[in-house]
Amino acid sequence: MLNLDFSLFNWSLIQGFILKGLWFSIVLTIIATAGGIFFGTILALMRLSGRKWLDVPASIYVNGMRSIPLVMVILWFFLLVPFIIGRPIGAESSAVITFVAFEAAYFSEIMRAGIQSIPRGQVFAGQAMGMTYGQNMKLVILPQAFRNMLPVLLTQTIILFQDTSLVYAIGAYDLLKGFETAGKNFGRPIEMYLTAAVLYFIICFSLSYVVKRLHKKIAIIR
């Protein structure tokens, strides 16, 4: 029978080990989400532009990224980028670059679906008013697409937060790394991993509940 002891948890342990990792996981999630949506929207517009010289490279990038496991992309960036530029960039910086590049492919597909969900009549109406492709997207299509895709974007963000634990593979100090370090220092790795699992579950379940409520509210507005 496991001899578990959770009495070691105190504010000093949480402040010294857990909060530092949680902070990096949250920052990484926010930056990767913002960067992923920005570059993902550009990729989606490239794929919907109708021009092969824009569509083909965007399609290759999106399909290529979506076909490779995230942990492999993390390791490749961590090992290859310093080799290419000739100097190390650090595990945390490598994780940020990797997540933005990887998540852009997934957010691109979400945004492409959102744009395609807008009735074509609105596109034609914008063209009839003399709007260019860029103006039509910026003023008419994208605002509606963002609203339609908001629950899906937030769901992908929750998945992204879960995936931040993979930066453990390159030694970045995320939430899981904080628990692991505390477990080694205090000789209680099982308690730390169990607590980490519970904390991940609480955070993700709470966010999923918020997204579900938001989805219902958007459905009512429609």
Q: Tell me the pLDDT of the chain averaged across its residues.
A: 89
Whether 1 is in a domain gets the answer no
Whether 48 is in a domain gets the answer yes
Whether 169 is in a domain gets the answer yes
Whether 173 is in a domain gets the answer yes
Outline where 48-174 has alpha helix (H).
52-66, 70-85, 91-116, 120-128, 133-136, 142-163
Range of the domain at 134: 11-221
User: What pLDDT shows up at residue 39?
Assistant: 96
User: What pLDDT shows up at residue 219?
Assistant: 64
Phi, psi of 8 (to 5 degrees): -75, -15
Distance from C-alpha of 41 to C-alpha of 107, rounded to nearest angstrom: 7
Q: Does the pLDDT at position 200 exceed 90?
A: yes
- Of 157, 155, 159, 177, whose CA–CA distance to 24 is shortest? 177
Counting the structural domains of the chain, the total is: 1
Q: Is 89 helix (H, G, I), strand (E, B) or coil?
A: coil
Tokens of 78: 């961590």
Whether 3 is in a domain gets the answer no
The mean pLDDT of 180-192, rounded to a whole number, is 90
